Structure 1
Amino acid sequence: MTEPKQPPEPEQTDPERADPQPAEPKQPPEPKKRRWGWLVAVGVALAVLVPLGYLWATSLVPGEYNPAEMGYADYGGGPAAPGHDHDMAGMAGMSGTSVADLTGPKTGIPNVNVTLTARKQTFQLASGETIDGYTVNGTSPGPTIRARVGDLIQVTFVNESVKDGATLHWHGIDVPNAEDGVAGVTQDAVPVGGKHVYRFKAEQAGTYWYHSHQVSSDEVKGGLFGPIVIAPAVPGEVVAAIHTYDGKRTINGRTGAWQADVPAGTAARVRVINTDNAILRVGLLGTSYKVVAVDGRDVHGPTATTAAYALPAGGRVDLEAVVPAGGMRLIAGIPTLSLAIGPAGTNPPTANLSAETVDLLTYGTPAPIGFDPGQANRDFQYRIGRRPGFLDGVPGLWWTINGHKFPDVPMFMVAEGDVVRMTISNTSGQAHPMHLHGHHAVVLSRNGARATGSPWWTDTLEVGNKETYEIAFVADNPGLWMDHCHNLPHASQGLMTHLMYEGITTPYRVGGDSGNKPE
């Protein structure tokens, strides 16, 4: 009998000769890997570049634009005029009042009639240094214009050789809008070979200055400016315009120390003008003095002090003291730049100014201001900041107003007769001397502390970093008015906007064939 067959035993394998394990699934071919990586890279690039491209494109400032249509209307909680459309406000042919019609007196024989000629040239400072810059009637500073309250002033401005064009702005004088001298806003820049006539009444005594408001960060820096004083000349008066040319700080175009001869016992009034772009500590050594006027407005109840005065860029201060027998010395920021005021041959002390600073919030005594800020029709916020981004296609760290970069900034809208309050706050990391054209404002508070001294009237207010000021004024001078930082490079970098009265139009344009650059 045959035995049943057994199933064959499994074949034994030699581990050394065993077939390899099954291969892993094949990876996609290398070209597909590269293609996928390329797609990811493109996606990442687009995710970065598209937003950047959008930010770049939306930052571009039109080659020509109407300044009355800038940004967006801010009515400060007040009503818009019936039928008023900010976006169409400056259109030629629309009903309204043109800034060109808001002139000074067109008739009458002027009491003060001068011609000022601007030149681009190499010139010598009064102390002898050679400067390549700008002059007015061949000098810088230009000639001092002197007038009395009530005078009709006529200035014929001639541009002999300033290639970018030029204007004259009457800094601190609340002139009619057409006389304000802002290229592209109240007039066209005066081209080479052209002229422009300004006419206005001298309504308010004080210390002021004139300067170009066309490419001003270059033209003012280079010397296109001069003083204007509305008050009779009196014995002991000294005008001291402080300016830096090519790194050389000067008083009336002189470096170093020099002297103005004034007899002892004279009640001297020193009119100090800061034409630079930064705040300066100024004051008198050798005697105490009073701060008798700020930005062309008298201080009520000034008291004697030896503290220094912090003078903003564009600001003016009048210091008054009786000249002692040994003289006194005006210090302009540093002891090496000074003006001795006293009898010939005297040598007043030279030293650093006091570390104390006159505080206008408490200096002097209270007085009526003529209106009630508590009854304001408009209440504006002017928040100064800074953030990275593009401005006109250029990357950088740019100034902002209420979170917006130029030109998408608020247009502060008012009606004639409005009582206006404005809160100016600064978190930008730098200080800014804020200058409102056509108006003087009174300071109500700083960082929440109320003003308790003399009414502090100002047209150029230093707002330090992390500071907040409340100011108020009456809208009594119709027009389209710049409101900007008077550190002029800051204005050219976008820290400027406008106060606009409802119903105002302008025929002027910024850029384009006009070449207007109203920084």
Structure 2
Amino acid sequence: MIRLLLLALFSPAMAAWACDNCKIPQPAAGQRVVEYDLTISEQTVSPAGKAVRGFTINGGIPGPTLRFREGDFARIRVHNQLKRETTSTHWHGLLLPNEQDGVPHVTTPPIQPGTTHTFGFDLRHSGTYWYHSHTHLQEQNGVFGSIVVLPRGGEPVKADREQVLVLSDWTNTDPMEVMRMLMRGSDYFGLMRRNSQSILGAWQRGNLKDYFQREWDRMMPMDVSDVGYHAFLVNGQRQTRIDGKPGERVRLRIVNASAATYFYLHSSAGPMTIVAADGPAVQPVKVDRFLMAIAETYDVIITIPASGEYELRATTQDGSGHVSAFFGSGSLKPATDPPRPNLYQMDEMLNLALEEQEDDVRASLKLPRPGSPYRVLKSVKDTTLPAKLPRRKITMHLTGDMNRYIWSFDGKTIAQEPYVMIKRGEIIELELVNDTMMHHPIHLHGHFFRLLMGQGARSPLKHTVDVPPMSKRTVEFEANEARDWMFHCHILYHMMSGMARVFRYEHEVGAFARTRVPGDRSLAAAPTDHSLHHAAGLGEHSHDMAYVWGAASIQSHMSEGLLTLMNPKNDLLLGWEVGWQGVDNPEYEVDALYQRYFNMNFQAFVGGRFTNDPDAQNRAVAGINYRLPLMVWANVSLDSEGDARFTLAKRFQLTPRLGVWGRVEYDTNTRWEWTTGADYTLTRRTSIIAQYHSQFGLGAGLLFRF
């Protein structure tokens, strides 16, 4: 009995220790070895002009470019100098042994503070790739860099020189606070992006009817991005230069390493020639402007002009900013931005979906706000998968709830449904259907997939695909690896809120199977149930995120507030109303509730109501919230004294900063109560508020959000 108890207590730790001390893969005899040391540390940085906490790699953001030749062996030592946090490094887009993929707990042990983890793997294919932390929100803090793998025999499309351009976004706000703001439904990021929806804004754009039709349909305001950023960067700066002499051809290896930002790419020197996408070469194709999804890479060729200074501009999808790379010399000929999105109508999203169905493969690229260049991309070789292998179709719906910032596949987060089971030796046809109003860049680890958009045998190979709103993408891949591989939206905050899965090779679960993965010269026999192997299951993805937030007003006549502890489906609520004007003694009512969230229009709650109102008393209460057309909230509750309460509430957002609201309530015990007011947003945490209450009269003060 004691022996079993000891095994139960120490086996997980021993398994993790054994994994950390596994034999590091070694190069083959005569194989060229390229070594790097990457040191992740915390420093004070100021990419947006304000000194804030950030994470650097070898002292910089981004980290250094890692350069290899196809066939090399990479030996990379990652040193974690963070004081209190584990870290990790994922080699995005590279095909490598499972335990080298770098996802903590799923494939690779987390790198503990003060320790070093050594990665070793073959460079099996050429192209432009990148690396980043897969731990918490560290990628947003600055833990990312680029990878260049030159092909054997040189690039098929020649250039006189090359340059890496790493695009990224930067916020001075702590990323965990960003996540909390998103989950609480704060619209302050809309103010930062200058695209908050309001009645005045709808009227100015001639979309007042559309605005109220959306409210009648109980739809949340549309958006194309989530976070308001303080800076957008290229190679860690707001702008950079592309070196080259007049007439030279330059290969630009462009990496979108943003946490949450799509970019439109445009050159004032004329069409860019795309020669590679996500690493593999494609047949050269000229494009004027295109949308680049998060986590994608593109190699484009430009020619340095004989005279004049030109601009390659990357404009954010929401129109809130851009970064620039200048080339040539002389008078400046700037690039242009696409028009800002009109978020009051769905026409742009519908047009993109429709144009992608046209016979003209360039139809979507001719739009003022074009889509991805997928239909003009063709592989340089036949990518057809073996016809003899069995095929299976999997359909996955991309789902979300902006009201609570829940993102998921098929309505379930990774914590609720972790695995997609696949079998080695089959071909998976994966249909991705986007049921949300946002673009999603979907990334599969450890595999390339064929993007099926009409190119037949020359369908391009990619590892990340943009799925536009109300659209679908179909990809296929051969299940030719082993063990567990992450599959997720590469908007960092979407992944962390649940839009992820693990593709698991099902016949290996719980077994110690001998696997033969190409290029994998690590231990031939290894445990493949990673919940045992690394003693922590899915790590941070094994549970849904939970946050505390609140708001409270301090006014001359009263105070109202709400404190919330929430995860995707559950709330603990503490709400209060205290008034001292127009009454003999301050009166309060406090609700302490548990609330179950069913969907954005319906919730149910139960708890206690506490008051010193002389006409009432403490009691238990249960009820529902239901959203009516025009976004009017109805609340119905019944208490343990047999009294019922009915409430209607509505808010009108007059301008991006100014809102007015009203609430009317009837209680069978205390009868009628009503209130109306207005608030004006000053900062992320404060607003001016004025309010009239039927019992406590008129007053004003400040509203605090925390």
**TM-score with structure 2 length normalisation?**
0.53
**Runs of 4+ with deviation above 4 angstroms:** 91-94, 98-104, 106-110, 232-235, 364-367, 372-376, 451-454, 514-519
Q: Which has the larger radius of gyration?
A: 1
Query: Which amino acid counterpart does residue 505 of structure 1 have in structure 2?
Result: D
* Cα distance per residue 1:232-258 (max 9 Å; x no partner): 797421111011122211100111x43
Q: 1:248 maps to what in 2?
A: 231
Q: 1:122 to 1:420 in 2, by over 3 A?
A: same
Q: 2:65 maps to what in 1?
A: 144
* Cα distance per residue 1:409-439 (max 9 Å; x no partner): 2622223222111111111332211110001
Secondary structure of the equivalent of 2:311? strand
For residue 310 of structure 1, the aligned residue among 291, 311, 315 is 291
Query: Which amino acid counterpart does residue 195 of structure 1 have in structure 2?
Result: T
Q: 2:99 maps to what in 1?
A: 178
* Cα distance per residue 1:175-214 (max 9 Å; x no partner): 1111100111112211111010001111111111111111
For residue 491 of structure 1, the aligned residue among 476, 491, 495 is 495
* Cα distance per residue 1:107-158 (max 9 Å; x no partner): 6675211110000110344x97644210001111011111111111110000
1:479 Cα shift?
2.4
Secondary structure of the equivalent of 1:133? strand
Contact 2:77 2:116 in 1 (8 A): yes
Q: Counterparts of 1:208 and 1:102 in 2: how far apart (Å)?
A: 26
Contact 1:416 1:476 in 2 (8 A): yes
Contact 2:65 2:145 in 1 (8 A): yes
Q: Does 1:297 align with 2:310?
A: no
Q: 1:130 to 1:252 in 2, by over 3 A?
A: farther
Query: Which has the bigger relative contact order, CA under 8 A and spacing at least 6?
Result: 1
Q: 2:164 maps to what in 1?
A: 239
Contact 1:482 1:496 in 2 (8 A): yes
Q: Which moved more, 1:279-288 or 1:262-271?
A: 279-288
Q: Does 1:338 align with 2:324?
A: yes
For residue 424 of structure 1, the aligned residue among 406, 412, 432 is 432
Q: Does 1:406 align with 2:417?
A: no
Q: Counterparts of 2:331 and 2:242 in 1: how far apart (Å)?
A: 10
Q: 1:510 maps to what in 2?
A: 536
**TM-score with structure 1 length normalisation?**
0.71
Q: Which runs of 5+ in 1 are unaligned?
A: 1-90, 389-394
* Cα distance per residue 1:381-404 (max 9 Å; x no partner): 21122359xxxxxx9352232233
Contact 2:383 2:461 in 1 (8 A): no
Q: Which moved more, 1:363-372 or 1:277-286?
A: 363-372
Contact 1:362 1:452 in 2 (8 A): no
Query: Which amino acid counterpart does residue 297 of structure 2 have in structure 1?
Result: R
More strand by share: 2
Q: Does 1:383 align with 2:407?
A: no
Give runs of aligned pairs for residues 83-482 of structure 1, distance below 5 A: 104-105=25-26, 111-125=33-47, 130-161=51-82, 163-215=84-136, 218-231=137-150, 235-246=160-171, 247-255=230-238, 257-276=239-258, 277-300=260-283, 302-306=284-288, 308-325=289-306, 326-333=308-315, 337-342=323-328, 347-352=332-337, 355=368, 357=370, 360-365=373-378, 367-372=381-386, 376-386=390-400, 396-409=404-417, 411-445=419-453, 450-451=454-455, 454-482=458-486
Q: 2:227 maps to what in 1?
A: none
1:348 Cα shift?
4.1
* Cα distance per residue 1:236-286 (max 9 Å; x no partner): 21111011122211100111x432321111111111111112321113221
1:92 Cα shift?
11
Secondary structure of the equivalent of 1:362? helix
How large is the RMSD of aligned CA atoms in angstroms?
Answer: 3.3
Secondary structure of the equivalent of 1:299? strand
Secondary structure of the equivalent of 1:396? coil
Contact 1:385 1:426 in 2 (8 A): yes
1:310 Cα shift?
1.0
Q: 1:54 maps to what in 2?
A: none
Q: Which moved more, 1:353-362 or 1:487-496?
A: 353-362
Q: Which runs of 5+ in 2 are unaligned?
A: 1-11, 172-229, 339-365, 509-527, 546-706
Task: Report the identity percentage.
Answer: 25
1:361 Cα shift?
4.0
Contact 1:146 1:228 in 2 (8 A): yes
